[in-house]
Structure 1
Amino acid sequence: MKNIIITGTSRGIGFELALQFANAGHQVLAVSRKINQELLSHKNIRCLSVDLSNEVELQQVTNFLSSSWDKIDAVVHNAGSLLLRPFSETTQHDFENIYKVNVFGVANLTRICLPYLQKGSHVVTISSMGGVQGSLKFAGLAAYSSSKGAVITLSELLAEEYKEQGISFNVLALGSVQTEMLQEAFPGYQAPLSASEMANYIYDFTLTGNKYFNGKVLPVSSTNP
């Protein structure tokens, strides 16, 4: 059984993914600002309430790892912050808030995990089709989509930097998925995939994708958001 860290587990894809891993017998560290009570009661899940944009709060992860785990088999950077706003109204503060979660949170948590990652470990970052060069873009997502493009490049760089240690870094660029975050941004829009369906794919990719890929960006999209 493996030790898996998943962020953004209070709802949506992260919640479904944490349950899938835990129900399969894996040990899960579920990291999110809000703790889901269903996850909290699961014997294979440890929940931490952490704001990924806050470096001080991330110390909780460091403390947990030093006292509880000697290795990490996989990290799924699933947490994300989305802002739908015209660019002319998007302030530097708005950009900073989005990047603190979507980019800096990924970088900081990865740095914390590095001493526990080993040959065969897999770091999966959930990006968006909006962050992929040449893909269809949507007005109002300048901060969000550009941050999702930034973590793609970050993952490619980390794959190169840590390939000798046998640590794999890959990105899944998702299209539209029926989650609460999508509904909040685009009320009334109906995505073709549910959160649990997408979690199924991410679950399998996390466990096996590093056998075939490293430093890659895989579009996982039947439609655009």
Structure 2
Amino acid sequence: MQAQILLTVNGAKHLIAKALVEHIDFNKRVYIAYGTTNNYILHHLEIKTDSLYAAGCNVNAKFNVTTNRDNVIILQNGMLVDIKDFDINENDIFIKGANALWYENGKKHAAVAAADPNGGTYGNLYIKAVCRGTDIIIPVGHEKLIPYFVETSQNVDFATGSKIAMLKFFKGKVFTEIEAFKTLFNLEAKVILAGGLEECKGSVGFLVEGENVKQAIEFAEKYNNLNILKTAEFIY
């Protein structure tokens, strides 16, 4: 059975988050870095934060950075733990969101925008996770699809908001709606279109195939308009 399903930005984030909550072994220690999609993961884990769980995002027509944020969420055996030092190891899981997704040689790749001159969570957390052989998962939706990666640094003359560097992930599993459809509903999915107006801005259309099409449609209808992101204060 085939179906065409439109996912809004909210619906796609819910789909990826719900799939990862089912996919990840939370008996292990899990580090969840900042990111809007990761905010949806926390929602499906029923973990509440005081503010938007993101270091930065594009808002107010600017590359923007949050002024206040919660501590990085760390779970051990499904319970919140307070670990002051980022003492990650090969038995742990690290979840890091992205700002760009592209395909190259048949594989998915991702990158993140860093406004921090020290590299932000990429420089402080991701590099250490790579060095220690941690299992890294990079959730990102096709709303962030770009044609190809362009190297850029903060060394520019002007920026609308914060100057950013795009940093490529060189290790980790990129987890998109396609992997989420497979994990949750055992459906094969392909991207067929993108874009929309009003509440459908940033939407992505998928052709899905398999036996559980009805469940996927019901999921989209339930979550497409459910925005769980909290307000935040930004630099710009």
Please classify the TM superposition score into its range, dividing by the shorter chain length. Answer: 0.3 to 0.5
Under a length normalisation based on structure 2, what TM-score does the superposition of the two structures give? 0.37
Give the structure, 1 or 2, with the largest relative contact order (CA under 8 Å, sep 6 or more).
Answer: 2
Whose strand fraction is larger, Structure 1's or Structure 2's?
2
Which one has the largest radius of gyration?
2
